[in-house]
Structure 1
Amino acid sequence: MMSWMKCCVFPLVLLCMWQLQEGAHACTCVYDHPQTQFCQSDVAIKAKVVAKKAVGGKFDNVINYDIKLIKILKGPNRHFNTICTASSSAACGVTLNKGVEYFIKGQLKPDGSLYVSSCNYPEPWKSSHKILVKRYLMGCDCRINRCTAVLCDNTGPTECLWTDWLTGNWLNNERDKQCACIKRRDGSCSWYKEAASPKKG
């Protein structure tokens, strides 16, 4: 009996410990509304990926993507030739495809480089992004309140209630992909769909 435990149980314990350790290093980030991601980013750009290369050492390896900058949507008015990301998806690294134009939101590192993670949710550029970005810029003074329960209320007039989470299919819902929370003339915030103009309310 003891021999069986040594042969079978101990390896199982090691396997469980290894899986827990792997899980501890997995990328975890709460999915925010694209407008929230945009407003909280240091830089937002439209860019085309032209090349990819790994740099760094064994334990600090990162991926650099050479890009063709098409338009600065938010952030300092300077040219970006490269964006960097973690080499592993477990560290929130992203995989971008050569030749594709992306809507990229990221953070500036102390050395001035632009860092992008899967939490910033980079996505292929769509024509609707041009309108949405203008709306996002108008709504950065508003707060999008994620509603995860049936009973969920706004806590103030400068908030928009985001209820797409209640449907179970939040990645494909209207307020996620087509709407922006922007400030009206009376100072309150409300949802508007793409090209719709804010009213006094």
Structure 2
Amino acid sequence: MSVFVHMLLSLLVVLCSFRLNDVAEACSCALSHPQDAYCNSDIVIRAKVVGKKLLKDGPFGTMRYTVKQMKMYKGFNKMQHVQHIYTDASESLCGVKFEVNKYQYLITGRVFDGKVYTGLCNFNEKWEKLTLSQRKGLNHRYQLGCNCRIKPCHYLPCFVTSKNECLWTDMLSYIGYPGHQSRHYACIQQKEGYCSWYRGWAPPDKTIINTTDP
């Protein structure tokens, strides 16, 4: 083998490696507090995945999951009942993988042309892994904070700059993400438009909130 051919093959291997790395790292998501995930989603449901089918559309296809909806927390204005969840079949393109006939999941997503789409950048979690505070947040507390802004703090110093902000400092903790605020707190709008972190077994105003458990 000539030196030129050897160099050419080496270059092709390097280029292919870069290409594979690009594909593997194509899905990049900013960290999001569960409350933001709730407020920014069209649909929020608890459901069990009971089937899946690969649809041959696009370069990698689309995975269609059939779900049994247990409860809808948000999205009544979009649809009354969710039967299918769509996601990219490739994880490199942010497709999410659900296990069939095994777990109940919290699933969040957006609605396009009457279909619910989700992905790795949405908040999807096994129901059993959610904390009690997160479940209560889905029931009522997160909705109270959709006019608030959760401001991430990655490096000190960091400050709130308006009355409707809550400073999110989970990323500073040695525990990492998801941290204490993600798992146990909601940023709720209080009197005079001020927003602050709230944790407690009773909601701040029992006269306007349904306090039933999830």
Aligned position for 1:106 = 109
| Paired AA for residue 47 in structure 2 | A
Aligned position for 1:132 = 137
Aligned position for 1:197 = 203
Task: Please tell me whether residue 18 in structure 1 is matched to residue 23 in structure 2.
Answer: no
- Cα RMSD after superposing both structures: 2.1
SS of 1:118's equivalent in the other structure is coil
Q: TM-score, normalised by structure 1?
A: 0.89
1:73-152 → structure 2 map (5 Å cutoff)? 73-75=73-75, 76=77, 77-99=79-101, 100-109=103-112, 111-125=113-127, 126=130, 128=132, 129-133=134-138, 134-152=140-158
Per the alignment, do residues 10 and 45 of structure 1 end up closer, same or farther by CA in structure 2, a change over 3 Å counting? same
Q: TM-score, normalised by structure 2?
A: 0.84
Gaps of 5+ in 2: 206-214
Q: 2: CA distance between counterparts of 1:64 and 1:187?
A: 42
Identity score, percent: 35
- Please say if residues 54 and 89 of structure 2, whose CA atoms lie closer than 8 Å, have aligned partners that are also in contact: yes
CA drift at 1:79: 1.3
- Please say if residues 131 and 183 of structure 2, whose CA atoms lie closer than 8 Å, have aligned partners that are also in contact: no
Report how many residues are paired. Answer: 196
- Please say if residues 131 and 194 of structure 1, whose CA atoms lie closer than 8 Å, have aligned partners that are also in contact: no
SS of 1:78's equivalent in the other structure is coil
| Paired AA for residue 105 in structure 2 | Y
Gaps of 5+ in 1: none
Q: 1: CA distance between counterparts of 2:180 and 2:45?
A: 23
Further displaced range: 11-20 or 97-106:
11-20
- Please say if residues 131 and 184 of structure 2, whose CA atoms lie closer than 8 Å, have aligned partners that are also in contact: no
